[in-house]
Amino acid sequence: MDYYLSPTHTQRFDLEIKNSQFITHVARTKGRDAAKAFVDQIKQEYPDANHNCWCFVAGVPNNAHLWDQSDDGEPKGTAGKPMLNVLQHSDFGETTLVVTRYFGGIKLGAGGLVRAYSQAVQEALSQTISENIYPRSPVQLKIAYSLLGKVEYWLEQSDIEIDNKTYSDSIIIDLAVIERTWPQQKVALIDLCQGSLTLIEPDKA
């Protein structure tokens, strides 16, 4: 996976089906805690709604440990699961959707609910303003103090993120590198330091 999509900001989409109002909010959420915090936020904003059903893929799309959903009082399997199914088959990751429903007096039935919640998510995702997110991996870089200036300058010009720096007898820099661009960057970094560096990568740690 070179990249996946994620919302640039929290966005709202409205849908009416047989007098019921379906209000969908979509947000970028990195990790379960952020996803659940967003769900709680929407529930607080719409406390009088009949239901606040939700789903999330809170990380890289293929990481099933970061998937979850809830029917929030709708008949079992008619809201959260179909919502998550749509999200799973999209190109979105780090994404949470909450569909708030105000009942309009006409019952939709189980099949109607599945279709309604699926449609709410499909339409929201098709209109969501998003950006490309490139999966990253941690890499630890160890260098001498004499190399810090030029290494920092080189990193500032790259797409590599610096997560932490530790100063001791040498400098240890924790990096988050984009998997698809790292192989070439690694060669350039080794050349920059003339081989005077230590790199610790996940598969070698």
Which parts of the chain have pLDDT scores under 50? 204-205
pTM, whole model, 2 decimals?
0.79
Supply the range of the domain harboring residue 87. Answer: 4-132
195 assigned to some structural domain: yes
**Which has the closest alpha carbon to 139: 113, 161, 167?**
161
**Which has the closest alpha carbon to 14: 26, 29, 31, 27?**
26
pLDDT value of residue 35: 98
Query: What CA–CA distance (Å, rounded) separates 84 from 64?
Result: 11
> Which residues sit opposite 177 in a β-bridge?
137
Q: How far is CA 102 from CA 16, 39, 70, 115, 123, in A?
A: 10, 17, 17, 16, 18
95 assigned to some structural domain: yes
Q: Is the dihedral of CA 153, 155, 159, 165 positive or negative?
A: negative
71 assigned to some structural domain: yes
38 assigned to some structural domain: yes
Q: Based on the structure, what is the number of domains in the chain?
A: 2
Q: What is the CATH number of the domain that holds 164?
A: 3.30.70.240
> Ramachandran region of residue 120, left (φ > 0), alpha (ψ -120 to 50) or beta?
alpha
pLDDT value of residue 7: 98
Give the domain-ending residue among 81, 116, 132: 132
Q: What is the CATH number of the domain that holds 24?
A: 3.30.230.30
pLDDT value of residue 203: 64
Q: Is the dihedral of CA 120, 124, 125, 127 positive or negative?
A: positive
> Which residues sit opposite 17 in a β-bridge?
20
Tell me: do 125 and 153 sit in the same domain.
no
Name the one residue in this structure whose structure tokens are 């001791």. 168
Per-residue pLDDT of 108-163, as tens digits, reads 999 999 999 999 999 999 999 999 999 889 999 999 999 999 999 999 999 999 99
Tell me: do 50 and 149 sit in the same domain.
no
Tell me: do 115 and 100 sit in the same domain.
yes
pLDDT value of residue 179: 85
Give the domain-ending residue among 106, 132, 158: 132
